[in-house]
Amino acid sequence: MHISSMNKNNKKGKTMKAEKYAWASTLQKELDELVWTDGSSTYYYYYHPISTSTRSIECAITKRHDLSGEPYYVVFWNGFGVVQSRDLDSLKKDVEQLVRIKKTKLWGK
């Protein structure tokens, strides 16, 4: 095989691979644009600020208080409270990671 034909095959393979994974850069852009609301209410929403759809909200965290008055936070996915924590910052990071994993799996199929 001649070197120039090897280069053409290699370029074609790279182009096909780039096309196959083009969704990854789009997904990364979308994930990077997700933000949290400022928490001025008792709810913190993780959402895409450009989208006007309520489906752009990935989840909500609500602030509650136990009987002693100590605050704790509950994550709501699709209307169900599934996780409680006293540390809001670590809870937000966990949510961000789970959203990335979930979206990557959905987009990769």
Planar angle of CA 44, 50, 56, nearest 5 degrees = 55
Asked if the model's pLDDT at residue 31 lies above 90, the reply is no
Length of the chain: 109
| Mean pLDDT for the stretch of residues 73-84 | 80
Mean pLDDT of the chain: 77
For residue 85, the cross-strand partners are 73
**What is the pLDDT, as a whole number, of residue 102?**
84
More confident residue, 72 or 49: 72
Domain boundaries, the chain: 1-33, 34-108
CA torsion, ordered 87, 92, 97, 101, to nearest 10 deg: 120
Claim: this prediction has a pTM higher than 0.75 = no
